[in-house]
Amino acid sequence: MTKAKSGLRVAIAGLGVVGSEVARQLINRAGELGSAAGQPLHLVAVSARDRSADRGFLLDNIDWHDDAVAMARRDDVDIIVEMIGGSEGPALELARQSLASGKHFVTANKAMIAHHGSELARLTEDNNASLMFEAAVAGGIPAVKTLREGLAGNRISRVAGILNGTCNYILSTMEVTGAGFDDVLADAQRLGYAEAEPSFDVDGIDAAHKLTILAAIAFGQQPDFNAVSIQGIRDVSSVDFAYANQLGFRIKLVGVAEPGLMPRMQTCMLPLDSQLAKVNGVLNAVEFHGSPVGSVLAVGPGAGGGATSSAVLSDLLDIATGRGGFAFGKPVDQLTDASGVKNGAGPDKAFYVRLMVVDQPGVLATVTAILQKHDISVESLLQQGRAPGDVVALVMTTHETPVAVMTRALNEMEQLPIVKAKPVAMPILPVDMES
């Protein structure tokens, strides 16, 4: 083990892109970071699967551990930085061991915080430690700090955001190029924006983990991933972008959390002049709405070694200067039970609906009859050209209607012989959502 040193002693578990960048920063900028922290920050130990990999820094005077949990048992470590990932397994064991032994814990692990945040926060309170996870939400955007500190005196009425750079890149590229989902996903994987197994991203799960955390802090509730309504982007087609542009909208995967309502991650239509609609590529953006502040928008890189390590370093400096605070803004016993939020629909919504139908007489009458049956009012109806006997897109926008009612109507339409694919429906977020 390393000799005793003054200042705070840091150990890093997981030396991938982010973990290695944090290590390099602590080594190469030791004096600068120590000045900002008010005391030295020493990297004393690391753990990873492959000791031989070249990570751009030397292991001289840094202890190596094959077992990350063993680092949490060391008396000469003050802070554990976890970059292993996963909601269970070694990462969770490391978190429990670290906090139970009174060590501060810094993580970018949004899945673990979304699923086990309450348990880990209670461990911090019981053992006089800090649980910090700025890097778990929106990468380089200080979203957690903004809610927990900058807007702490506000009554938050809504948090909304683009929280997954992979999905935002795919949707932005589909809009610009006209390419299909599968082709753009393959391009994103080639560029390193999407994982080889992309389900967590494109199915909205990664973004929903982040929304769970934001909702917990914003509304003083226990983080509960199972209380989030989730829809991904797989059903979006290139044809939807053409119609969206014609209607004055842009397609985005947006998370919305409001007090008393189930947080929802949804592919939706945004007005072209809205703030979130202008956020393209791999960027993330978070909007905070509250009183008395009004509306605050933060935009920045949502992933990558630089952005995420920036958030980790911020957490380390907060611990060093005594700015840890409660993990979710208040003691665990004061957090409400998010599982009691049953209404995932929220207020009535206008919808964009696309049906792939056989172009034949009577189609429109059949579809509108179902809408009338469910008391759904159509605002506009679009169909490009005619192709008798072929499958074509029938697009409509509706006036505000309850989500449950729209779901029942779509299910009924899907059973029609003239409908040849699962109907696609996206809520249209109003302009005043951002007011």
For residue range 399-422, list pLDDT tens digits in order: 999 988 999 999 999 999 999 999
Q: What angle do CA 348, 353, 359 make, to 5 degrees?
A: 150
Q: Would you place residue 340 in the very low, low, confident or very high pLDDT band (cuts 50, 70, 90)?
A: low
Residue 1 has what pLDDT? Answer: 43
Residue 5 has what pLDDT? Answer: 61
Identify the helix (H) or strand (E) that includes residue 132: strand 131-132
Residue 342 has what pLDDT? Answer: 57
Residue 50 has what pLDDT? Answer: 83
How many other CB atoms are found less than 10 A from the CB of residue 304? 18
Residue 49 has what pLDDT? Answer: 86
Amino acid identity, position 386: R
| Mean pLDDT for the stretch of residues 118-129 | 95
pLDDT above 70 coverage of the chain, percent: 96
Q: Would you place residue 225 in the very low, low, confident or very high pLDDT band (cuts 50, 70, 90)?
A: very high
| Residue 393 pLDDT > 80 | yes
Question: Is the whole-model pTM more than 0.85?
Answer: yes
Please enumerate in sequence order all residues whose Cβ is within 8 A of that of 402, keeping only pairs 6 or more positions apart, or say none: 345, 348
Q: Give strand pairing partners of 306.
A: none
| Mean pLDDT for the stretch of residues 375-381 | 92
pLDDT in tens, 325-334: 899 999 999 9
Of 18, 22, 14, the closest CA to residue 49 belongs to 14
More confident residue, 56 or 119: 119
d(CA 369, CA 300): 46
Please enumerate in sequence order all residues whose Cβ is within 8 A of that of 176, keeping only pairs 6 or more positions apart, or say none: none
Q: Where are the alpha helices (H) located in 191-228, listed in sequence order?
A: 199-202, 205-219
Residue 429 has what pLDDT? Answer: 87
Residue 303 has what pLDDT? Answer: 82
Please enumerate in sequence order all residues whose Cβ is within 8 A of that of 222, keeping only pairs 6 or more positions apart, or say none: 117, 118, 216, 328, 332, 335, 336, 337, 338, 339
Q: Annotate 25-78 with three-state secondary structure.
A: HHHHCHHHHHHHHCCCEEEEEEECCCCCCCCCCCCCCCEEECCHHHHCCCCCCC
| Residue 433 pLDDT > 60 | no
pLDDT in tens, 73-112: 899 999 999 999 889 999 999 999 999 999 999 999 999 9
Of 256, 368, 310, 408, the closest CA to residue 26 belongs to 310
More confident residue, 315 or 325: 315
d(CA 71, CA 10): 10
The active-site residue out of 145, 210, 252, 349 is: 210
The answer to whether residue 210 is catalytic is yes
Q: Where are the alpha helices (H) located in 220-343, listed in sequence order?
A: 238-247, 305-320
| Mean pLDDT for the stretch of residues 189-193 | 87
Tokens 């992979």 label which residue?
166
| Mean of pLDDT over the chain | 91
Q: Residue 336 gets which letter from DSSP?
A: B
Amino acid identity, position 75: D
| Residue 136 pLDDT > 50 | yes
236's tokens: 């979006």
Domains in the chain, start-ordered, CATH in brackets? 8-107 (3.40.50.720), 143-302+336-340 (3.30.360.10), 350-434 (3.30.70.260)
| Mean pLDDT for the stretch of residues 304-314 | 92
Residue 339 has what pLDDT? Answer: 72
| Residue 317 pLDDT > 90 | yes
d(CA 132, CA 39): 19
Residue 430 has what pLDDT? Answer: 77
| Residue 434 pLDDT > 90 | no
| Mean pLDDT for the stretch of residues 48-65 | 84
Amino acid identity, position 10: V
pLDDT above 90 coverage of the chain, percent: 76
Angle at which helix 17-28 crosses helix 30-37, to 10 degrees, equals 80
Q: Residue 150 gets which letter from DSSP?
A: I
